[in-house]
């Protein structure tokens, strides 16, 4: 009842065959079709695009933003926003890296401290969850708008990352740590595996659990959700914590990818993650709408776009203009299809 | 007795206040420093050098603020400095093309102004610039890289943030050397990695995947060069592609020791930071500064770091 996403899906299923069904297919899968068209166009533009190595590159490069976007999707669905995730990447990256330096490091952060990989791993996730907990607390308890609350943590958390390292990078990390960002199991890079696993977990969490149902209900109509007995504050806290945890994990992955924890990591990622969610159909204007599959496709669209512009050697100035145009264009197209379907 | 107990410390305090504090306050030279960004590895070294200079000069009081890479914010910070009665102002500009308002408001207030590290597009004679000549870095980088490439082959250039003077000039230096000294080196790729290791890696991955033959990578800084090296390593092409950077950062030197990075260029953050605040200090005290050449410039020279001499730059 308080879940518009479900209503739309249910209505779509009940619709009769014919033109209307086509329209409803478009409305449901519009963004997937746009993605498919992009892939076809990209492969026509550059013969290198469809090579295995390049396709792996695309997914590996988008995996960090994809991880963040999974959590951001839930936050936006609940009617909130999370601007802090890029800063969380920086903080979790430096904290984790400081606990993961190899024994032969020439610039040890904690001299003589050599910990098993599980410690930095947990530290990264915990840092993220901690910031998420603060975000959730601010939103649920003080009732200040999520935009302002997370804008505050966006600034403060970046400051904390700077403070922790005094602005310096933390390098010479252990092989185990770097494996998370640079290694592969079989022929599948680890960052992609992490993204796939977390996407599946997040999908189940959002679509199959009571927690997910409540998050959608709160986003759809918070008042109604509260009246029907949902502890809205508690579930808001939880969704921000989950988003923070994913951003922390993303910080671990990206620092392992470049073999260095840097406080400046992840600048602007929060906007890429929000863009991925929105391109993928998560609604910024109305809560309660958004899916994990859509967000992954949204992140893939951004990834393909970045990749094909590099492959074609488009000038850096034009890249920015084209990216902006295509992101807005994809969302407009998607919305037109939504309107056509209703 | 009771009265004495209260009075003696009170008088002592007053005497202390009258003797020590005001005199000291009158003598202290207050210098306001606005840094474009705290969140940058190399710029942090500049900042550290300034702080260290401040500790060595007890008659100077340094206030260092972070402009967060925001031009408007930086302009506001400088206005605040003027309102706080700073005796001199040091600015590491966010955008070298947008320093006009800062220069104007400081010169109007009649206070000395020193720009550091990034050369403003418009620099009046009364304003001092302290930094390195960026084009030199590009030239030194490419000259050394060209040797590694055997004077021929395909070159990719990793450019810094496009609005920065350093990115424009270093790239210009790289191209100049290619044109004049190595006519057989062809520039096949040129793209911005925004000074970031992560973006340098991503670009290199994409270039390698595009099938483009690349024999050398000239990077405007070390971070992007190190990112490119990781992509090269992952593609199994280590040793086949020469990579040159700029900055002489710790990680770059470690990479050179491993035989990965071919060369870099030392840009002296300590020299820039120290000499900049020192210039502001001397200007405020109206003393002459022997470092100044060309009327209003303090040049801190770059130094090429090669396979032969890199050990001397490692601490």
Nearest to residue A300, comparing CAs of A24, A43, A89, A69?
A: A69
* Region(s) of chain B under CATH 3.40.50.2300: 29-132+269-300, 134-266
CA distances from B224 to B74, B204, B213, B228 (A): 26, 9, 19, 6
Residue A10: pLDDT band (50, 70, 90) is very low
Taking an 8 Å Cβ-Cβ cutoff, which residues of chain A contact chain B? Answer: 46-48, 51, 53-54, 57, 61, 106-107, 158, 162, 166-169, 171-172, 182, 254, 257-260, 262-265, 267, 306-307, 310-311, 313, 316-317
Which neighbouring-strand residues pair with A52? none
Radius of gyration of chain A (CA): 21
Tens-place pLDDT, residues A288-299 = 999 999 999 999
Largest Cα–Cα separation, chain A: 70
Tens-place pLDDT, residues B288-305 = 999 998 889 999 999 999
* Count of C-beta atoms within a 10 Å radius of residue B15: 10
A-chain residues within 8 Å CB-CB of B43?
167
Question: Span A175-179, mean pLDDT?
Answer: 94
Give the Cα-Cα-Cα angle B102, B106, B108 (nearest 5 degrees): 115
Q: Does the beta-carbon distance from B40 to A264 stay under 8 Å?
A: yes
d(CA B268, CA A58): 38
Residue B262, min C-alpha distance to chain A (Å): 19
pLDDT recorded at residue A287: 86
Q: Does the beta-carbon distance from A265 to B203 stay under 8 Å?
A: no
B-chain residues within 8 Å CB-CB of A158?
39
Least CA distance to B188: which residue of chain A?
A313
Q: What are the residues whose beta carbons fall under 8 Å from the beta carbon of B46, sequence distance 6 or more?
A: B35, B92, B116, B117, B269, B270, B272, B273
A-chain residues within 8 Å CB-CB of B40?
167, 264
The answer to whether A128 touches A251, Cβ cutoff 8 Å, is yes
Whether residue A2 is predicted with pLDDT greater than 60 in this model: the reply is: no
The answer to whether B105 touches B86, Cβ cutoff 8 Å, is no
pLDDT recorded at residue A131: 98
HSE of A247, CA atoms in CB hemisphere, 13 A: 42
A104-140 as b/e, with b when 16 or more CB fall inside 10 Å? ebeebbeeeeeeebeebbebbbbbbbbbbbbbbbbbb
Residue listed under structure tokens 């592609």: B241
> A interface mutation test: which of B198, B249, B257, B261 has the most A CBs within 10 A?
B198
The answer to whether B203 touches B228, Cβ cutoff 8 Å, is yes
B-chain residues within 8 Å CB-CB of A310?
191, 202-203, 206-207, 210
Tens-place pLDDT, residues A211-266 = 999 999 999 999 999 999 999 999 999 999 999 999 999 999 999 999 999 998 99
d(CA B35, CA B159): 22
Tens-place pLDDT, residues A29-46 = 778 888 999 999 999 998
Q: Out of A140-149, B38-47, B75-84, B179-188, which region has the weakest mean confidence (pLDDT)? A: B38-47
Fold of the domain spanning B29-132+269-300: Rossmann fold (3.40.50)
Which neighbouring-strand residues pair with A117? none
Whether residue B309 is predicted with pLDDT greater than 90 in this model: the reply is: yes
Residue B114, min C-alpha distance to chain A (Å): 23
* Count of C-beta atoms within a 10 Å radius of residue B185: 24
Give the Cα-Cα-Cα angle B35, B162, A60 (nearest 5 degrees): 100
Q: Does the beta-carbon distance from A51 to B209 stay under 8 Å?
A: yes
Domain boundaries, chain A: 66-341
Tens-place pLDDT, residues A268-294 = 999 999 999 999 989 888 889 999 999
Residues in chain B: 315
- First-to-final CA distance of chain A: 19
Q: Does the beta-carbon distance from A316 to B196 stay under 8 Å?
A: no
- 3-state class (DSSP) for residue B27: helix
In this structure, whether the domain defined by B134-266 belongs to CATH 3.40.50.2300 is answered with: yes
B-chain residues within 8 Å CB-CB of A316?
159, 162, 191-192
Tens-place pLDDT, residues B239-248 = 999 999 998 9
pLDDT recorded at residue B315: 66
Whether residue B11 is predicted with pLDDT greater than 70 in this model: the reply is: no
Q: Out of A5-19, A93-107, A192-206, which region has the weakest mean confidence (pLDDT)? A: A5-19
pLDDT recorded at residue B70: 86
B-chain residues within 8 Å CB-CB of A267?
39
pLDDT recorded at residue B163: 82
Tokens of B152: 């021929």
Taking an 8 Å Cβ-Cβ cutoff, which residues of chain B contact chain A? Answer: 38-41, 43-44, 47-48, 159, 162, 189, 191-192, 196-198, 201-203, 205-211, 226-227, 230, 234, 250-251, 254
A-chain residues within 8 Å CB-CB of B207?
310
pLDDT recorded at residue B12: 53
Radius of gyration of chain B (CA): 24
> A interface mutation test: which of B47, B206, B220 has the most A CBs within 10 A?
B206
The answer to whether B80 touches B73, Cβ cutoff 8 Å, is no
- Is the model more confident about A1 or about B39? B39
The per-residue DSSP string of A138-187 comes to IIIII---HHHHHHHHHHHHHHHHHHHHTT--B--B-HHHHHHHH-EETT
The per-residue DSSP string of B49-104 comes to HHHHHHHH-TTEEEEEEE-TT-HHHHHHHHHHHHHTT-SEEEEE-S-TTS-HHHHH
If phi over 0 gives left and psi between -120 and 50 gives alpha, with beta otherwise, what is residue B243?
Answer: beta
């Amino acid at each position: 009842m308080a879940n518009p996403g479900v209503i739309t899906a249910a209505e779509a299923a009940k619709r009769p065959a014919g033109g209307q069904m086509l329209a409803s297919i478009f409305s449901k899968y519009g963004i997937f079709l746009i993605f498919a068209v992009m892939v076809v166009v990209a492969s026509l533009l550059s013969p290198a695009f469809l090579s295995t190595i390049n396709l792996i590159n695309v997914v590996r490069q988008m995996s960090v933003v994809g991880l963040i976007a999974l959590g951001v999707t839930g936050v936006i669905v609940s009617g909130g926003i999370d601007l802090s995730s890029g800063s969380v990447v920086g903080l979790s990256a430096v904290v984790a890296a400081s606990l993961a330096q190899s024994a032969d490091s020439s610039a040890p952060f904690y001299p003589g401290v050599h910990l098993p990989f599980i410690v930095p791993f947990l530290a990264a996730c915990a840092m993220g969850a901690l910031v998420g907990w603060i975000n959730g607390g601010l939103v649920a308890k003080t009732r200040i708008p999520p935009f302002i609350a997370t804008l505050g943590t966006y600034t403060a958390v970046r400051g904390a990352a700077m403070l922790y390292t005094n602005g310096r990078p933390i390098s010479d990390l252990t092989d185990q740590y770097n494996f998370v960002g640079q290694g592969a199991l079989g022929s599948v890079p680890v960052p992609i595996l992490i993204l796939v696993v977390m996407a599946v977990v997040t999908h189940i969490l959002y679509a199959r659990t009571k927690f997910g149902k409540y998050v959608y209900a709160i986003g759809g109509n918070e008042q109604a959700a509260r009246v029907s007995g949902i502890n809205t504050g508690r579930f808001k806290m939880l969704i921000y914590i989950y988003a923070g945890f994913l951003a922390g994990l993303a910080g671990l992955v990206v620092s392992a990818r470049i073999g260095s924890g840097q406080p400046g990591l992840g600048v602007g990622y929060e906007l890429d993650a929000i863009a991925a969610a929105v391109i993928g159909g998560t609604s910024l204007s109305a809560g309660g709408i958004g899916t994990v599959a859509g967000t992954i496709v949204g992140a893939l669209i951004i990834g393909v776009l970045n990749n094909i512009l590099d492959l074609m050697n488009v000038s850096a100035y034009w890249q920015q203009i084209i990216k902006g145009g295509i992101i807005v264009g994809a969302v407009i197209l998607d919305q037109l299809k939504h309107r056509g379907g209703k | 007795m009771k009265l004495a107990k209260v009075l003696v410390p009170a008088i002592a305090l007053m005497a202390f206040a009258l003797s020590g504090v005001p005199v000291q306050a009158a003598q202290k030279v207050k210098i306001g420093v606005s840094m474009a960004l705290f969140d940058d590895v190399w710029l942090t070294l500049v900042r550290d050098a300034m702080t260290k200079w401040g500790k060595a000069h007890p008659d100077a009081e340094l206030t260092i603020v972070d402009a967060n890479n925001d031009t408007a914010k930086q302009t506001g910070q400088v206005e605040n400095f003027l309102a706080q009665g700073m005796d001199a102002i040091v600015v590491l500009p966010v955008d070298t093309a947008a320093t006009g308002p800062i220069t104007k408001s400081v010169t109007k207030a009649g206070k000395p102004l020193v720009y550091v590290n990034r050369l403003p597009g418009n620099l009046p004679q009364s304003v001092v610039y302290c930094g390195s000549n960026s084009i030199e870095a590009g030239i030194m980088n490419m000259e050394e890289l060209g040797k590694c490439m055997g004077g021929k082959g395909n070159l990719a250039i990793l450019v810094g943030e496009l609005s920065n003077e350093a990115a424009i000039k270093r790239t210009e230096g790289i191209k100049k050397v290619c044109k004049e000294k190595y006519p057989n080196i062809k520039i096949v790729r040129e793209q911005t990695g925004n000074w970031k290791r992560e973006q340098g890696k991503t670009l290199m991955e994409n270039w390698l995947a595009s099938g483009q033959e690349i024999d050398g990578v000239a990077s405007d800084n070390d971070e992007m060069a190190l990112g490119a090296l990781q992509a090269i390593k992952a593609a199994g092409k280590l040793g086949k592609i020469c990579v040159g950077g700029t900055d002489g950062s710790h990680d770059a030197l470690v990479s050179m020791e491993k035989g990965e990075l071919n060369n870099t260029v030392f840009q002296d953050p300590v020299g820039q930071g120290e000499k900049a605040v020192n210039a502001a200090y001397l200007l405020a005290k109206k003393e002459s500064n022997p470092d100044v050449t060309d009327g209003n410039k303090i040049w801190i020279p770059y130094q090429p770091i090669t396979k032969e001499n890199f050990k001397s730059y490692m601490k």
